[in-house]
Amino acid sequence: MIFPNLEAIEKLSIDEKIAQFGNKRKASYSRGQYRSNMMLNPLRLKHLNRLDRLEADMITLNLEDAIAPSRKREALVNIAFFLSHMEASNSFLVVRTNPLDEGGREEIAFLNDFAFDAIRVSKIKTQKEVQEALGLLAKDKELHISMETKEAFNNLQSLRIDERLTTANIGILDLLNSLGLPQSLVQMGNPTIDYILSKFLIDCHSVGLRGTSFMFQEYQNTQLFEAWCKREKMMGYQSKACMGPLQVEIANRIFGVDEEQIARAKDIKEAFEANSEQGEHGFMDERYGFIDEPIYKDALLILKGLE
Give per-residue pLDDT as tens, 158-188.
Answer: 999 999 999 999 999 999 999 999 999 999 9
Above pLDDT 90, what percent of the chain? 80
Lowest mean pLDDT among 23-37, 196-210, 259-273: 259-273
Residue 172 CA to residue 193 CA, distance in Å, equals 9
CATH 3.20.20.60 fits 9-257, yes or no: yes
Segments making up each domain of the chain, as ranges: 9-257, 260-304
> 3-state class of 62 per DSSP?
strand
In percent, the amount of the chain with pLDDT more than 70 equals 98
Higher pLDDT, 131 or 271: 131
More confident residue, 102 or 263: 102
Bridging pattern class, strands 36-40 and 58-62: parallel
pLDDT tens, position by position, 62-90: 999 889 999 999 999 999 999 999 999 99
Confidence category of residue 149, pLDDT binned at 50, 70, 90: very high
pLDDT in tens, 7-37: 999 999 999 999 999 999 999 888 788 999 9
8 Å CB contact between 95 and 61? yes
What's the whole-number mean pLDDT along residues 91-110?
97
The residue-averaged pLDDT of 245-254 equals 97
pTM of the predicted structure, to 2 decimals: 0.87
pLDDT at 304: 77
Q: What is the pLDDT of residue 301?
A: 76
The whole-angstrom separation of Cα 88 and Cα 209 is: 26
Residue 242 has pLDDT above 90, yes or no: yes
Mean pLDDT, the chain, as a whole number?
94
pLDDT value for 307: 59
Phi, psi of 232 (to 5 degrees): -70, -35
